[in-house]
Amino acid sequence: MAVYERKAQVGEGTYGKVYKALNTVSNQMVALKKIRMEAERDGFPITALREIKLLQSVRHENVVSLLEMMVEKSSVYMVFEYVDHDLVGILTHPTFSLEHKHVKDLFRQLLDGLAYLHKRGVLHRDIKGSNILISSSGQLKIADFGLARFYNKHKSTIDYTNRVITLWYRPPELLLGATAYGAAVDIWGAGCLMIELYGGRAVFQGQDEIQQLEAIYDVMGTPTKEMWPDFEKLPWYELVKPAEEKPSQFVKKFDRHLPPCGLDLAAQLLSLDPSKRPSAAVALQHDYFTKEDPAPVRPTGLADLVGEWHEFESKRRRREKNQR
């Protein structure tokens, strides 16, 4: 690996560790994602192959770029462009905070990236803060395609696994056992992140699938036939039927954090019925972006931050602080 000089571990991807490294030829920083091979008796892991094939087929300013593949002895690395921060790192920074105009710009970039992926027939299936990278110039990049896959936009009957998406960002239809799903699962994750951008913390924080559904119902209310006609047909509905009906607390809980149009858009993105969530392309046309002040502004103040801020380092700093 003479070309690449490893500097530090900066993350843990779905299927391997991520390192910051210097390309000693071009003098560019890159991210090296080591593909776990230990458990693979049958050669190259199919999940990594899928990720590579998928990343080679996409090219967008809001999607992280795969630069090349590299083999060193028995290790295989994916080489990505390096991005300074991720959303978790930024939101947990002790002194830096995003203004509303910056939040709107970052969220617009996230939806731009998702609209592009969905148009290309790609489901990300792990939208969460640590997978949203942000450069020091305020450019957002969707990263970690370890759970992503191509999907057929015109066939809603194809079965996929529902054991995807980090628990706090997993939509109710997957928690109720749905296996036929589409882009709406990523849109739910985007809705969670929209609230998080304003409030600074994850909205729904369950310890397991049942608690996660409860956390969603506590805020969004329990589903009704009018709100979501097919919810009782989902495979695990009888197993996890709510004990009591709960009204939505969404507006009461978040109207002080979000502007009126922003609140309306977030409520749509977090519709319990996936068919009622707008596509990313439609969400970009919402009054929140087109009419409501302030206009989106790139968060260029990130260039003044000392060091890099990713979830991985944030956790390490927290551990060190607790040990002191």
Tens-place pLDDT, residues 93-117:
888 999 999 999 999 999 999 999 9
Dump the DSSP string for 266-319. HHHHT-SSGGGSPPHHHHTTSHHHHTSSSPP---GGGGG-SS---HHHHHHHHH
Look up 230 and say whether it is catalytic.
no
Catalytic-labelled residue, pool 126, 144, 208, 293: 126
Res. 208 pLDDT band, cuts 50 70 90 = very high
Tokens encoding 41: 């008796």
**CATH code reported for the domain at 4-82:** 3.30.200.20
Is 85-290 assigned to CATH 2.40.50.140?
no
Among 242, 198, 186, 195, residue whose Cα is nearest residue 217: 242
- Whose structure tokens read 């709960």? 246
What is the Cα–Cα distance from 235 to 269, expressed in whole angstroms? 23
Mean pLDDT of 216-243: 93
Examine the pLDDT at 1 and tell me if it is beyond 60. no
Phi, psi of 293 (to 5 degrees): -75, 155
Four-CA torsion 214, 311, 61, 182, nearest 10 degrees: -20
Mean pLDDT of 287-312: 91
Beta carbons within 10 angstroms of residue 44's beta carbon: 12
Examine the pLDDT at 40 and tell me if it is beyond 60. no
Mean pLDDT of 13-41: 83
Res. 314 pLDDT band, cuts 50 70 90 = low
Return the pLDDT at 156.
64
Q: Where in the chain is the domain with CATH 1.10.510.10?
A: 85-290
What is the Cα–Cα distance from 285 to 280, expressed in whole angstroms? 9
Q: Where in the chain is the domain with CATH 3.30.200.20?
A: 4-82
Return the pLDDT at 318.
66
Instruction: Quote the mean pLDDT of the chain.
Output: 91
